[in-house]
Amino acid sequence: MALKTEEMVLNMGPQHPSTHGVLRLELQLEGEIIKDVIPHIGYLHRCFEKHSEAMTYPQVIPYTDRMDYLASMYNEFGYALAMERLMGIEVPERVEYIRVIMGELQRIASHLVALGTYGADIGAFTPFLFCFRDRERILHLFEITCGARLLYNYIWIGGLSNDLHPDFIRLTKEFIKDFKPNLKELNDLLSFNAIFIERTADVGILPLETAINYGVTGPNLRASGMKWDLRKDDPYSVYNKFDYEIPVGSGEKGKIGDCWDRYFIRVREMEESLKIIEQAIEQIPDGDVKSAIPKRVKPPEGQIYTRVENPRGELGYFIISDGSLNPSRVKVRAPSFVTMQVFPELCKGFMVADVVAILGSIDIVLGEIDR
Amino acid sequence: MIYEWLYNITGSSILSMFVVSLLPLFVFILPFALLAVLAERKVSAHMQDRLGPMRVGYHGILQTVADIIKLLQKEDLVPAATDKKLFNFAPLLVFAGSYAVFAAIPFSSIFIGSQIQLGIIYIVAVTGLVVAGILMAGWASNNKYSLLGAMRSAAQIISYEIPTLLIILTIIMITGTLSLYTLSELQTSYFWNWMILGGPATGLQKILYIPLMIIGCLVIYISTLAEVNRTPFDIPEAESELVSGYHTEYSGMKFAMFFLAEYANMFAVSAIVAIIFFGGYQSPFGYLGNAIGLHWLVPIEQFFWFTAKGLFFVFVQMWLRWTLPRFRVDQLMAFCWKYLIPISFVILLLAGLISLI
Amino acid sequence: MKTSEEILNILKDKFGDSIIELKSDKPIDSFVLAAPLEVDKICMFLRDNSDLQFDSLMNLSGVDDANGEKVKDNKGTETINGGTLSVWYHLESTKLKHKFTLKVSTERAKPEVTSVTEIWKCADWHEREAYDMYGIIFLNHPDLRRILMPYDWEHGYPLRKDYRNPEFYQGMKVPY
């Protein structure tokens, strides 16, 4: 007589410690093996796109902050860039440099959260706090610059809300000096820990073909072995003036595109971001950061799709203007939204514990998925 | 022995038995749990570049007291869909299992709850109660996370008992005793008589024993770590996967019972490692009491040494917890069955051969 | 690298009537307007043709063109009759590094577009979102459900220009 078995449906989230917000995953399990995953999103939907239609163009900026709340600077950056291209505004060079510095600091801060929470997902709690300790320094830099720690409203269409704080350059240099040994400490504690490698290598492998077809971008795509970074491949702002590398996943500990690769790409990207910041600080020109801000933002009729390399991938803004003061349509191509689609593919055949490991490694932010 | 002493004073065997059985709880387990919870938080905090609890009392030393008061005030919540009898009984069983272990642990030469000749086997057997309790809690909660946690826990504890038992068997074979008291007495006087350094054996035999004992000690420490569900083997309550595993649905004092049992267990397994390999309550270099002629001082010193050794191993457990990530459930099993069990068999075999020399 | 004109010519040769026109009068992005029920074939060609190789769908967005006749009823609430809803496809080739924008417009009364999920898996959720927000039906979509709104939302498609909040949702007053 055969034993009667049945699949168990496990509902993970929306309140669960490691779904990184309010994601709900419907897991179909056979024992602890995943047969299928159905993600349910929308618990954090705040109608960004509907709101923007009722706002004037500059008023949209604080709303972009609230999408990917771990990379607010970059959201503003992308929106400002799109509007400047639509209106044909030429931005002073100092503004571009400050934007790049802020953007890269934000990338480090965002990756620190990603790596720290990833450690916590795998069960190592200490790296989490080490990462947050360093992120705190970056948030302090943002705070002295614009007064806010998380939602900045700093990068405006055509300029910035204010210039750098007089101490900013000095503090940033100190941060870079202190951060380099901390990065090594993180590697010793977590990246090359045998248990950590055991847990993440060869888990959740994302082949390159699948990644491109699913529209996966950013660190996750690079971990699958493609050298694709919009900062180099579709340059914007002043990124082509700096000398830096694009790290690519190599399958060092397992296969190319596994969780460990996705994790370690972020560590290496932080090193590259530090290089960019160091160069930008040296080269930053003088100037007025507010000179190009238009008095009245009234773009001509037309539409534009602009994308930037957000810490999570390609952040695209599709803006349609009907010639009035309000946008007719703002659609955000959120990197996490697109990446999340590939998640069920990655999980099949792995275990419940791996779902957590894979979810952490693709680094999603629910604020951005649900908008 | 305390029991005889009390019996002589009171004349009542029931009363003295009662006092003796409660002594470890009030003198040791509760204060230890209070201290250990605070220590865990402080140790983790300082490892993570922060201060930990600082508000209640000087540097937060009264934090756990405040926590206990909070837990006492909590509503005793029993979710509607649970199996109520089992749900209420499970924390008692888990706590009883870990508490009963203390009956056979020699805290010093005059204070053993009960001088059972089969001490080691008793301890191993009575910890089995904990598995039943955990399974009961997981099943009765009627929660899938709890159930998964309980299943993992049962599989894990039962698997890791095998290497533990094999190493204990080796020790029994070498020393020829099952009593923890006798085992401690065998490792008397100086630290080179500890089992980790070959025990009371002499000559070539002792030298050959040393590497075996060191490996055996590591094996038993790792597997006891798994038995008490501590990181890197804390998958039954893996916070990031299973929320809290088998005690997800518990709150208030019932949760506190699980919590207390966990800390009591931590000390119990550390004590076992200390007794088997590190001389139990024996001082590493003679007794002050003997040297200056105050013989009543000796048991107190012994108690001190025993607690110090136990606490040291508890500290190592905390240290590991805040350093290492967590295994996955299949890796955990593979580690036990593919490495620990074969290694302990080899140790058993080699120790048997050496003892023939 | 190919410009939009060159791509348009290739498409014209292949598909003839389903390609309607190239619009490049508005600033910045020029785009090609295509027939809504042929878009899956066009996209398949765009992906597989060796000169084009659009292997990545950057973005897919639904848009309410709001170009119909605006009708006010006696309570003063405005509805739009007729006109079109659109879907925009932003394509990119990661190998040849060129970009292309495709637009399809469909009847507001009966918005139907063929799905491109088979071609780019990435389109799945984007199309669900467009369905959720504009009510555009993507034919052949494997799993066309609401995505950001609750599954039991029955009060229309919120990003349409004539959308109005319902008064109650499951017994809760909406503008609370």
A277 Cα to chain B: minimum distance (Å): 26
Please say if the pLDDT value at position B17 is more than 80.
no
Cβ of B329 and A351 within 8 Å? yes
For β-strands B106-108 and B111-112, DSSP reports them as: antiparallel
Task: Write down the pLDDT at residue C22.
Answer: 67
C27 contact residues in A (CB cutoff 8 A)? 86, 88, 300, 302, 304
Confidence of residue B101 (pLDDT cuts 50, 70, 90): confident
Residue indicated by tokens 């605070």: B38
Query: Min CA distance, B208 vs chain A (Å)?
Result: 31
- DSSP calls for B297-324: HHHHHHHHHHHHHHHHHHHHHHHHHTT-
Q: How far apart are CA B337 and CA A218, in angstroms?
A: 41
Please give the helix or strand (H or E) that residue C43 lies within, else none. helix C39-48
Coil vs helix vs strand at C145 = coil
Q: When comparing pLDDT for A2 and A198, which is higher?
A: A198
Confidence of residue B190 (pLDDT cuts 50, 70, 90): confident
Would you state the pLDDT for residue C146? Answer: 86
Going by C-beta distance under 8 Å and a sequence separation of 6 or more, which residues neighbour residue B295? B289
The answer on pLDDT for C25 being more than 70 is no
With a pLDDT cut of 90, the percent of chain A lying above it is: 1
What is the rounded average pLDDT of the residues B284-304? 76
Q: Tell which B residues from 90 to 149 touch A, by Cβ distance under 8 Å.
A: 144-145, 148
pLDDT beyond 80 at C2: no
Kindly state the percentage of chain A with pLDDT values over 70. 99
pLDDT at A249 over 80: yes
Task: Report the alpha-carbon distance of residue C58 to residue C92 in Å, rounded.
Answer: 7
In whole angstroms, what is the distance from residue B118 CA to residue B179 CA?
A: 5
A334: nearest Cα among A218, A213, A207: A218
pLDDT of residue A21: 76
Q: Mind telling me how many Å the CA of A163 is from chain C's nearest CA?
A: 30
Nearest one of A109, A335, A103 to A239, comparing CA atoms: A103
Q: What is the pLDDT of residues C119-174, one digit of tens each?
A: 888 888 888 888 888 888 888 888 888 888 888 887 788 888 878 777 888 888 87
Return d(Cα B315, Cα A230) in angstroms, integer: 49
Q: Which of A85, A302, A341 sits opposite C121 (nearest CB)?
A: A341
Whether A32 has its CB under 8 Å from any CB of chain B: the answer is: yes
Does the distance separating the beta carbons of A189 and B323 come in below 8 Å? yes
When pLDDT is averaged across residues C2-13 and rounded to a whole number, the result is 72
Interface of A with C (CB under 8 A): 41-42, 45, 47, 49-50, 53, 85-86, 88, 210, 212-215, 226, 228, 233, 300-305, 307, 314, 316, 318, 320, 328-329, 331, 333, 337-338, 340-342, 370-371
Pairwise CB contact (< 8 Å): C29 & A303: yes
Quote the pLDDT of residue B295: 73
Question: Phi, psi at residue A156, to the nearest 5°?
Answer: -105, 165
CB contact under 8 A, B235 and A352: no
Q: What is the number of CB-based contacts under 8 A between chain A and chain B?
A: 79
Inter-chain touch B328–A354, beta carbons under 8 Å:
yes
Mean pLDDT calculated for residue range C1-15: 71
Contact C101 A342 (CB under 8 A): no
Sign of the alpha-carbon dihedral angle for C63, C67, C72, C73: negative
Tens of pLDDT, residues A316-362: 898 888 888 888 888 888 888 888 888 888 888 888 888 888 888 88
Q: What is the pTM of this model?
A: 0.85
- Helix locations, B51-143, DSSP H: 63-73, 84-101, 119-140
Under 8 Å between Cβ of B270 and B314: yes
ipTM over 0.90: no
Q: Is the pLDDT of residue B7 over 80?
A: no
The backbone region for C168, taken as left when phi is positive above 0, alpha when psi lies in -120 to 50, beta otherwise, is beta
Q: Which positions ≥6 away from C6 have C-beta within 8 Å?
A: none
Residues of chain A contacting B242 with CB distance shorter than 8 Å: 352
Q: What three-state secondary structure class fits B187?
A: coil
Does A126 sit within 8 Å of B241, measured CB to CB?
A: no
The 10s digit of each residue's pLDDT in C74-99 is: 776 777 777 788 888 888 888 888 88
**Chain A partners within 8 Å of C159 (Cβ):** 49-50, 53
- Break chain B into its structural domains and give their ranges: 1-73, 74-355
**Which residue carries 């939204």 as its tokens?**
A337
How far apart CA B234 and CA B227 sit, in angstroms, is 9
Please state, in angstroms and rounded to a whole number, the distance separating the CA atoms of residues B230 and C157: 51
Q: In the prediction, which pLDDT does C94 show?
A: 82
Q: A87-144, pLDDT tens digit by residue?
A: 888 888 888 888 889 889 999 999 999 888 888 888 888 888 888 888 998 999 899 9
3-state helix, strand, coil in chain B (%, to 5): 75, 0, 25
Give CA angle at B271 (B268, B272), nearest 5°: 90
Pair C132, C150: CB distance under 8 Å: no
Choice between B31 and A221, residue whose per-residue pLDDT is larger: A221
Q: pLDDT by residue (tens digit) across B244-255?
A: 777 888 878 888
How does pLDDT run across C29-87, given as a tens digit for each residue?
Answer: 777 777 788 788 888 888 887 777 888 888 888 888 877 777 777 776 777 777 788 88
Preferred mutation among A29, A125, A199, A355 to probe B, highest tally of B CBs within 10 A: A125
Q: What are phi and psi of A318, to 5 degrees?
A: -110, 110
**pLDDT score, position A350:** 86
- The helix/strand/coil state of A101 is helix
- Please tell me the distance from the alpha carbon of residue B62 to that of residue B73, in angstroms, as a whole number: 17
Does the pLDDT value for residue A17 go beyond 70?
yes
In this complex, the chains that touch A, judged by 3 or more CB pairs closer than 8 A, are: B, C
- Give percent above pLDDT 90 in chain B: 0
What domains does chain A contain, in order, with CATH numbers?
7-369 (1.10.645.10)
| Phi, psi dihedral angles at A122 (to 5 degrees) | -80, -15
Closest chain C CA to residue A82 = C28
